[in-house]
Chain A
């Protein structure tokens, strides 16, 4: 193998595949990154067997070939090099990659590319396409509700349903639920209902930050893997097996109070209260007071800690229905308000121990359910 490319392209490519490199793996080749020529491009590939990423960078290929080299060493080396041309040449006999950039030279001992698992990318024929920006928004709005602890593996995933009308993603960690859907311009060839690890989707959002083209989503016919194809990147993830809870049942179908608030103001008040709620289990209290004959409707946001003190904010709100006092986890509220793509949010409540529902005003495609906190004693 003999190939040349620009330092900044190689560095960017390595940072994209880097998160898929196996950590603490028993298979040494998984902590390596595959460097291979592919037509007139350089293909970088990393996988931990759960998640795999391929990334192609522009290069000048003089001689085809492939090798795997330790990902961490290689990445740190490339990041430290000047923004210049890098020439790489593989010594096949010793499986050593020689690298030259300006006046710097290095040789890295590798492992035979034959030992590296193939990170395959599926077939385009079954793909559905979603605008990159829409997909990123969906991921941000839904993955925040996915569980981070592994005690119920299905809850660390995002239920993704591809139907003739569109794609719906849902995640729930046992305390909150996020559901977001989007329409499809072209109906999908095949329907699917799978659980994609939230971590893989967050990785997808990260690596697609600059993507302009629509992203293709392909579910393998065996329902064991999902592929995401970007212009120069493939991401492959194993799917989570199991049954996702029937979330439709959790969504309340009625309300006794609807409170409409400005998202920015509400978020500011929640973040202030969160400072004081930190030591007291994140309890944030909302006191919803509908408009009277003279006074406009208002919401009092407060938090108290016996150690650090207390905080109260008052917000104007449009309130329909009964007054209510309800407590939520301040972090949960801040999470959802931070990803709402609207100027106003509607909070629907029934009782202090029943779930609250947040929806952006003027948007039907996102819904967030939060269980309140129960104040004993």
Chain B
């Protein structure tokens, strides 16, 4: 099969990254990973639903009067400085003429499924990591679909023609590099990092671009004078392990573009987890309890959105000295409800935490997953059913009006810097 024609279907922003470096010997069998990321997805769908607003600044997000935040902004709006997760009030201050939409989440889901279906036509090895992003492992597909660059272009074109949605694509030998590559030339970008050139490709980029480098880690790296991934890559592995513990070894690999995580199949998800590194170490039990509650709420909501329930609750504690403890408990039936998860997580915390020891990171996971949404009814009253209905209602409100639209009274104090957990990330 000949490679597909490329010139006629090349969107703007193509870029094949080249670097004059010697190729290091490859040890693991070389993979070809494609990362597909839909551009300004919610805003793009809004344009499809209402063609009259196409090209105008569009913001999808919560209530501008309250504490709503931006969940998606069109590129026309981004030109004014509007960014995701920015408070709506600030976004409208920057771009008063923006068209604000509360979000048609059912439509987003519908378009997302269409896109994912297109991706699965090319390989069954598709890992959807969020509503608008997915990895494809196309290793060895050259014979079938031509070389990776052509395939990436074909996919980009298919999504544009079939769903009328723009996307950016990154091609590399690992998930890490492919994801960074797709984010580099948005919108409608196509960035290919040839095998062996990962480290050189990453070198000039800021350390924040690396997966797993959050606010806290970035600040520590900056304090050490490390601002680019290239600078980080020059640090010996031992020194990074000394400074960052186990995470140091991962940083060392990632800075070189080494990331062996496989593209995980749909439905093979083994756990849903959420963890939070605190800007300052916590020593107060009540504060920890509050964060634990927030984490359980998030994990439970994530389980529900995935239609999964789990039987094993895990707790992860990292102390100030980076020693990390994980504990798990099994419950008698699968759940996707926060109170049930919290009950287990609390007793694990109670049994695990050495009271007063500074805690750097707290995490909650649920594994032993089964497909929902069936629920065992109880003989003695149906508390779970009431929680279920309440949780569903909360999920609906948050989907429509933003995470902050409705909150537990526990979280009603003025938000501090630690408020709320980070986004849930799948643990594979």
- Which A residues touch B379, using CB under 8 A? 172, 174-177, 250, 355, 369, 371
Which residue of the partner chain, among B331, B372, B380, B385, contacts A250 with CB atoms under 8 Å?
Answer: B380
Q: Knowing A306-B267, A374-B385 are in contact, say whether A281-B371 is a contact too (CB < 8 A).
A: yes
A133 within 8 A of B: no
User: Smallest Cβ distance from A181 to chain B, in angstroms?
Assistant: 19
Q: Are A280 and B374 in contact (CB under 8 A)?
A: yes
- Which B residues touch A147, using CB under 8 A? 332
Cα distance A148–B372 when bound, in Å?
A: 23
User: Smallest Cβ distance from B75 to chain A, in angstroms?
Assistant: 36
Q: Are A279 and B376 in contact (CB under 8 A)?
A: no
Q: Knowing A306-B267, A307-B267 are in contact, say whether A372-B377 is a contact too (CB < 8 A).
A: yes
User: Smallest Cβ distance from A231 to chain B, in angstroms?
Assistant: 37
Q: Are A279 and B371 in contact (CB under 8 A)?
A: yes
Q: Are A371 and B374 in contact (CB under 8 A)?
A: no
Cα distance A175–B371 when bound, in Å?
A: 19
Q: Knowing A148-B332, A149-B332, A307-B267 are in contact, say whether A280-B371 is a contact too (CB < 8 A).
A: yes
Which residue of the partner chain, among B267, B372, B378, contacts A371 with CB atoms under 8 Å?
Answer: B378
Cα distance A149–B335 when bound, in Å?
A: 15
- Which A residues touch B375, using CB under 8 A? 281, 373-374, 376
Interface positions of A from 360 to 377, Cβ below 8 Å from B: 369, 371-377
Please encode chain B, from 347 to 389, with 1 for each CB lying within 8 Å of some chain A CB and 0 for all others: 0000000000000000000000011111111111000010010
Please encode chain A, from 216 to 253, with 1 for each CB lying within 8 Å of some chain B CB and 0 for all others: 00000000000000000000000000000100001000
Nearest opposing residue in chain B for A152, CB measure: B380
15 A-B contacts (beta carbon < 8 Å): A147-B332, A172-B380, A175-B333, A175-B377, A250-B379, A280-B370, A281-B334, A281-B375, A355-B379, A371-B376, A373-B374, A374-B374, A374-B377, A376-B373, A376-B388
Interface positions of A from 17 to 69, Cβ below 8 Å from B: none
Q: Size class of A's contact patch?
A: 20 to 34
Nearest opposing residue in chain A for B369, CB measure: A279
B309 within 8 A of A: yes
Q: Are B385 and A281 in contact (CB under 8 A)?
A: no
- Which B residues touch A372, using CB under 8 A? 377
- Which A residues touch B376, using CB under 8 A? 175, 281, 329, 371, 373-374
User: Smallest Cβ distance from A97 to chain B, in angstroms?
Assistant: 39
Q: Knowing A172-B379, A174-B380, A177-B379 are in contact, say whether A281-B374 is a contact too (CB < 8 A).
A: yes
Please encode chain A, from 174 to 189, with 1 for each CB lying within 8 Å of some chain B CB and 0 for all others: 1111000000000000
Please encode chain B, from 116 to 157, with 1 for each CB lying within 8 Å of some chain A CB and 0 for all others: 000000000000000000000000000000000000000000
Nearest opposing residue in chain A for B371, CB measure: A280
A344 within 8 A of B: no
- Which A residues touch B370, using CB under 8 A? 278-282
Q: Are A376 and B378 in contact (CB under 8 A)?
A: no
- Which B residues touch A175, using CB under 8 A? 333, 376-379
Please encode chain A, from 85 to 113, with 1 for each CB lying within 8 Å of some chain B CB and 0 for all others: 00000000000000000000000000000
The interface of chain B, by Cβ under 8 A from chain A, is: 267, 309, 331-334, 370-380, 385, 388
Cα distance A262–B410 when bound, in Å?
A: 55
Q: Are B267 and A376 in contact (CB under 8 A)?
A: no
User: Smallest Cβ distance from B204 to chain A, in angstroms?
Assistant: 43
Please encode chain A, from 336 to 377, with 1 for each CB lying within 8 Å of some chain B CB and 0 for all others: 000000000000000001010000000000000101111111
Nearest opposing residue in chain B for A177, CB measure: B379
User: Smallest Cβ distance from A157 to chain B, in angstroms?
Assistant: 15
Which has the most chain A C-beta neighbours within 10 Å: B371, B374, B385? Answer: B374
Q: Are B377 and A371 in contact (CB under 8 A)?
A: yes
- Which B residues touch A172, using CB under 8 A? 379-380
The interface of chain A, by Cβ under 8 A from chain B, is: 147-149, 172-177, 245, 250, 278-283, 305-307, 327, 329, 353, 355, 369, 371-377
Q: Knowing A149-B332, A306-B267 are in contact, say whether A281-B377 is a contact too (CB < 8 A).
A: no
Nearest opposing residue in chain B for A355, CB measure: B379
Cα distance A175–B388 when bound, in Å?
A: 17
Q: Knowing A173-B332, A371-B376 are in contact, say whether A281-B267 is a contact too (CB < 8 A).
A: no
- Which A residues touch B380, using CB under 8 A? 172, 174, 245, 250
- Which B residues touch A374, using CB under 8 A? 374-377, 385
Cα distance A283–B373 when bound, in Å?
A: 10
User: Smallest Cβ distance from B388 to chain A, in angstroms?
Assistant: 7
User: Smallest Cβ distance from B380 to chain A, in angstroms?
Assistant: 6
User: Smallest Cβ distance from A358 to chain B, in angstroms?
Assistant: 14
User: Smallest Cβ distance from B84 to chain A, in angstroms?
Assistant: 29
Cα distance A189–B372 when bound, in Å?
A: 52
9 extra interface residue pairs, beta carbon distance < 8 Å, beyond A373-B377, A376-B374: A173-B332, A175-B376, A177-B379, A278-B370, A281-B309, A306-B267, A307-B267, A355-B379, A373-B376
Cα distance A172–B381 when bound, in Å?
A: 13
- Which A residues touch B372, using CB under 8 A? 281, 376
Cα distance A100–B380 when bound, in Å?
A: 58
User: Smallest Cβ distance from B372 to chain A, in angstroms?
Assistant: 7
- Which B residues touch A250, using CB under 8 A? 379-380
- Which A residues touch B374, using CB under 8 A? 280-281, 283, 327, 373-376
Nearest opposing residue in chain B for A284, CB measure: B374
- Which B residues touch A375, using CB under 8 A? 373-374
Q: Are B371 and A306 in contact (CB under 8 A)?
A: yes
Nearest opposing residue in chain B for A307, CB measure: B267
Cα distance A125–B385 when bound, in Å?
A: 50
Cα distance A281–B307 when bound, in Å?
A: 11
Cα distance A282–B379 when bound, in Å?
A: 18
Nearest opposing residue in chain B for A371, CB measure: B377
Which residue of the partner chain, among B331, B377, B388, contacts A149 with CB atoms under 8 Å?
Answer: B331
Cα distance A173–B377 when bound, in Å?
A: 12
Closest 5 pairs between A and B when the two form their complex, measured CB to CB = A371-B377, A280-B371, A283-B374, A376-B373, A281-B370
- Which B residues touch A369, using CB under 8 A? 379
Which has the most chain A C-beta neighbours within 10 Å: B333, B371, B379? Answer: B379
- Which B residues touch A353, using CB under 8 A? 377
Nearest opposing residue in chain B for A285, CB measure: B374
Cα distance A366–B390 when bound, in Å?
A: 38
- Which A residues touch B331, using CB under 8 A? 149
